[in-house]
Chain A
């Protein structure tokens, strides 16, 4: 079983919908990252958080350390949000990131 589990694996939404992508992990962590991989393959870091909530434009990331769970929300989704969203964690004793398998998001016009 992977240390980092994402759900759903695939998500199709209509433009304007509110989207939630979930990430659960099984170990204690010191940091969690959300990444976006564009259809062309490029990877961009969206958030790095260790507690609470962060917001950037229409994107919101939350983390609950006790429940070992993080969510990425997209408000007023747009077709340009179509991408793979990847969760990655830095576990307590590790010095490197462990990645989830990604969520493929497709937003239809």
Chain B
């Protein structure tokens, strides 16, 4: 059973399009995250979210928005895609908010914007 799953695995799209990446966790965790890994393999937090609060990394453009229909899902919506958005996006979850608990990562979504 996959603990944290993401769809799609690969996403190729044109500049200016709007796209979504879905994430689901079956661990019963309260907190979920989105990370971006750039071409130099550098990981950076984008959002962390639980049912109480959304914490947004201040460097994330407002074209990116997380949407959580329920505790097990945190989807990432991206409007007006730009070339620089090409990266691998990882979803993760943990029992509690912040970095004081072990995080479980999804397999990643490779986004290529043409």
Q: What residues make up the interface of A, taking CB atoms closer than 8 Å to B?
A: 30-31, 33, 35, 37, 41-45, 48, 50, 84, 86, 88-90, 95-99, 101-102
Q: How far, in Å, is A89 (CB) from chain B's closest CB?
A: 7
A45 vs B12: C-alpha distance when bound (angstroms): 28
Query: Is there contact, CB below 8 Å, between B105 and A96?
Result: no
User: B66 interface residue, CB < 8 Å from A?
Assistant: no
What's the tally of chain B residues with a CB closer than 8 Å to chain A? 25
Query: Is there contact, CB below 8 Å, between B42 and A43?
Result: no
Q: Per-residue 0/1 for B59-90: is the Cβ within 8 Å of any A Cβ (1 yes, 0 no)?
A: 00000000000000000000000000000101
Q: Which residues of A lie under 8 Å from residue B90 when comparing CB positions? A: 43
Q: Which of A41, A48, A86 counts the most B-chain CB atoms under 10 A from its CB?
A: A41
Query: Is there contact, CB below 8 Å, between B99 and A31?
Result: yes
Known: A42-B107, A84-B41. A95 touches B102 (CB 8 A): no
Known: A90-B98, A95-B48, A96-B98. A45 touches B41 (CB 8 A): no
Which residue of the partner chain, among A89, A97, A101, contacts B41 with CB atoms under 8 Å?
Answer: A101
Q: Which residues of A lie under 8 Å from residue B110 when comparing CB positions? A: 41
For the complex, would chain A's binding face be called helix, strand, loop or mixed by DSSP majority? Answer: strand
Q: Which residues of A lie under 8 Å from residue B42 when comparing CB positions? A: 99, 101-102
A41 vs B108: C-alpha distance when bound (angstroms): 7
Can you report 5 residue pairs joining A to B where beta carbons are below 8 Å apart? A30-B99, A31-B99, A95-B55, A96-B33, A101-B42
Query: Is there contact, CB below 8 Å, between B55 and A96?
Result: yes
Query: Is there contact, CB below 8 Å, between A88 and B105?
Result: no
Q: Per-residue 0/1 for B88-102: is the Cβ within 8 Å of any A Cβ (1 yes, 0 no)?
A: 101010000111111
Q: How far, in Å, is B53 (CB) from chain A's closest CB?
A: 9
Q: Which residues of A lie under 8 Å from residue B48 when comparing CB positions? A: 95-96
Q: How far, in Å, is A97 (CB) from chain B's closest CB?
A: 4
User: B103 interface residue, CB < 8 Å from A?
Assistant: yes
Q: Which residues of A lie under 8 Å from residue B111 when comparing CB positions? A: none
Q: How far, in Å, is A42 (CB) from chain B's closest CB?
A: 6
Which residue of the partner chain, among B92, B100, B107, contacts A31 with CB atoms under 8 Å?
Answer: B100
Query: Is there contact, CB below 8 Å, between A48 and B55?
Result: no
